[in-house]
Structures are given as structure tokens and as C-alpha cells.
Amino acid sequence: MRQLPKLCRSLLWGPAVALALGACSQQATSVVTAPASPAAPMAAAPAPAGPAFEIPVEYYTLPNGLRVVLSPDHTAPTATVAAYYAVGFRTEPRDRTGFAHLFEHLMFQGSQNLGKAEFIQLIQKNGGALNGSTRFDFTNYFEVVPSNKLETILWAEADRMRGLAISQSNLTNQQGVVKSEVRVNVLNQPYGGFPWLDMPQKANKN
């Protein structure tokens, strides 16, 4: 396989079923059945004078280069943290594919102050949800928690940004998990990898 991104259908760990489905549903592809076009020609609907609603965006960069976006939304007492790294599987060399996805898995296996699986437990035992995925141009990690736990999650995400506890046993274990995801979701599925893995490899020449 040239590319082994995390599949929407696949799971990083058992209990996160609902979450993995949530991750899938974020696609912007519309399934809306729009009403039939009104027969009366509405002269080119004029653009509204100003946007009906504006998403607050506070944006700054830390001296170490980390770009930070803060966007408060008080409609529900939850907080969402999304850490995006500009590393996807698009830039993987042809003979070294799957590394971005494997690395994504290792981000859940422990860091300086969090043991194996403790990151996941920290979120879930606080009533939160989390996931990560590997895409063309980024790898992402996100957590949704009750808002009083935002500081805890910011700390935990920073802990694994600072460095991972990569051991041979974690590596071997997750190599097996990633291989298994490919077997289950691609190789042993009818239309597995069609067309999402097949097409970019055929259509693109560079």
C-alpha cells in the first residue's frame, strides 16, 4: 500500500466507536436535498450587507512558531482542542509509506508524564471524547471535554507535543495494529481502497 491513512471506519481503540463515527461525519459533502429551484426567478440573490454571523477568531503565534487560534463559543459548556501538524501521507516517499499513520498511533502510546493509554483515559474518564487521523496534508489530534477540564487537556496535549515515550514494544505493537487496520479495512473489503486510495495514485503523475 502506498498510503495508509487512518480510515474513518477504523478505530484506534475499542471504546471510541461513537467518536470514530463522529470523525467521519465531519465531511462537508452535502447530503441535503435542496428544495426545487423556485420557478420565480429571484433576481440574483444579493449578498447580505454583512455576514449573518461571525465566528470569533483570535490568532497569534508563539515565539517557538506554534500557531494558536482561539474561538470562544459559549453555547455549551464544552471545549474542543485541535492540534494539527503539517505532516500527512502525501509527502511520504513511495517506498516508505504508512509512516505518518504509524506515528499518529504512537501519539497515543505515552509521553513524558502520561503512561500508555493514560491520555485516552484522562479524556474519557472526564467525560470527553477524542480521536486522531492522518490525512493528505496533516495529522490531527482533537479532544472535546467539559470546559472545566480545558486546562488539563491543554497540558496533556503539550506533554505529547514535547516528546513521546517511544519504546520498541509500543512500536512493534502499533505496527501490528496499523497492519491490521489495512487488512480489515482495505485488503479484505470489497471495493477496499476504491476509489480513495486507487485514484490519487493513478491520476497523479508527480
Partner 1 sequence: MAVVGDFEPAEAKAWVEKYYGNIPSATPPPKPDLTEPRQEQEQRFSKDDKLASKPALAFAYHMPERNTPEYYALIMLDQILLQGNDSRLYQALVQKRGYSDGVSGGINSDLGNQFNYNGPMLWMGSIIYDPSVQADSVVSVLDQEISRLAKTGIDQATLDLAMVKIRSAFYDQLSGSDNFGRADLLAAFALFDNDPARINRIEGEFRKVTPELMQKTIREYLRPGNRTIITVNPLAKS
Give, as ranges, the residues between 6 and 25 that touch partner 1 (CB under 8 A).
8, 22-23, 25
Q: Catalytic residues, which ones?
A: 104
- 83 scored as a contact of partner 1 (CB under 8 A): yes
Interface positions, 35-54, toward partner 1 (CB under 8 A): 35-38, 41-45, 47, 51, 54
- 80 scored as a contact of partner 1 (CB under 8 A): yes
Interhelix angle 99-106/168-182, rounded to 10 degrees, is 120
| Residue 97, amino acid | T
Interface positions, 132-191, toward partner 1 (CB under 8 A): 135-138, 140, 142, 144, 147, 150-151, 154-155, 157-158, 161-162, 188-191
* Burial group, residue 194, by CB count within 10 angstroms (0-12, 13-18, 19+): exposed
All three cell numbers of 106: 504512537
Q: Which of 79, 100, 120, 182 binds partner 1 (CB under 8 A)?
A: 79
- 202 scored as a contact of partner 1 (CB under 8 A): yes
DSSP per-residue letters across 130-171: EEEEE-SS-EEEEEEEEGGGHHHHHHHHHHHHH-B---HHHH
Check the CA dihedral 121-127-132-138 and report its sign.
negative
Stretch touching partner 1 by CB under 8 A, among 58-66, 104-112, 115-123, 174-182: 58-66
Q: Which is nearer to partner 1, 172 or 188 (by Cβ)?
A: 188
Q: Which of 14, 15, 62, 125 binds partner 1 (CB under 8 A)?
A: 62
Q: Kindly give, in sequence order, each residue whose CB lies less than 8 Å from that of residue 128, ignoring residues fewer than 6 positions away.
A: 143, 144, 145, 146, 149, 153
Min dist. Cβ of residue 19 to partner 1 (A): 9
